[in-house]
Copies of this chain bind each other. A is one copy, B any other.
C-alpha cells in the first residue's frame, strides 16, 4: 500500500473502555462463575457486585481497537480512533491516554448519560485474563460518530467484532465498510472473542466475504466461526474468503493465509508472560503497521509478534515501551 497518499494509515473503530486490572486466583473465577479467558458483557449492577469481590486494581485505558490504535501510533503510524466515552473522569483518562500515545481521537463524548465503559479484568497466575465488561457510554456509538472523510482518507479501516453487540454501532460499522470499499481503503476485522463469534457467526461470515480484506482471529475464534474443533480445518475454511487471514496461536506464533501464500511465523520470545490482556490487539497493530509501510506478509506477522510480546510482558493492554525503537532494533522497520 502507498502510505503517502492518504491522511491516516489506519482508522480503528471500537468500544472505548477503561480496564480495571486485578490479580485473581482460579478459585475466585469458579466461585463467581466467570468463564476463564472470555469476555462477558455485564450490566451496571453486576459490575458493582463483581468490583466488590475484586482485589486492589489498577486502571489503564483499554478497548481492543483502542489498544491497536495506540500500538500503531507507538510504531510511528498515522492513526485515528473512533469510540464513545462519557464526559466523566474515566472518559478523561481514556481521552488523555489515546491522544498522548499519538492517536487522532475526536469522537464527541456522551453528556449526562451512561458512564464510560469499564472492563473488570481478572488476571490469573497463568497470565490469562478474564474480562467482565460494562459497556456504558459505548452503547451510544452510532453512525453519526463515524467521520466519513476520515474513513475515505485511511489506507485501512479496522473494525472490532465486539461492536456487533450493539445495533447502532453495527450500522456504523457497515457504513464505514461500504465507504472504505468505495474509496479503495482496505477493510480489516478482528473477531474479538469466541463467544462473540458464536453470537454473530452468520453476520461475520457474510461480512468477511463481502467487505473484509484482512481478518484477524485467534485459534478459538476461527474455530468458533467455522464450528470446528480443528484449527487446520478452520484455517482451510477461511483461506480465500478474504484477501488475508492472520491467525494467532499464542506461544505457537501465527499463521498468515492468502489464496496464494502461507506463512508460519514463530512467537517473539518473552522472558516472563505477566498478563495476556491486549496480545491480539497489539499483534494486529504490528501487522497493520507493517502492511501500511510496504512490508511483506511474513514481516508483518513478525512485527505483530514483536508488539504482542511487549504487551504480555507487563500488566495492562497498551505498550509501555517505544515500539518503534523495539522494531528498529529487531530490524523489522
Contacts and interface: CB of A to CB of B under 8 A. Distances in A.
Nearest to A19: B58
Interface in A40-79: 51-52, 54-61, 70
A250 to B, nearest CB: 24
A93 B320 contact: no
Contacts of A55: 100-101
Protomer copies: 2
A106 interface: no
Contact of A56 (B23, B59, B318): B318
A56 B61 contact: yes
A192 to B, nearest CB: 22
Size category, A interface: 20 to 34
A23 B89 contact: no
Contact of A23 (B22, B98, B115, B320): B320
Contacts of A23: 320
A111 interface: no
Contacts of A54: 96, 100
A60 to B, nearest CB: 5
A83 to B, nearest CB: 15
A142 B3 CA distance: 59
A100 B55 CA distance: 5
Interface of A: 20, 22-23, 51-52, 54-61, 70, 88-90, 93, 96-98, 100-101, 115-116, 315-316, 318, 320
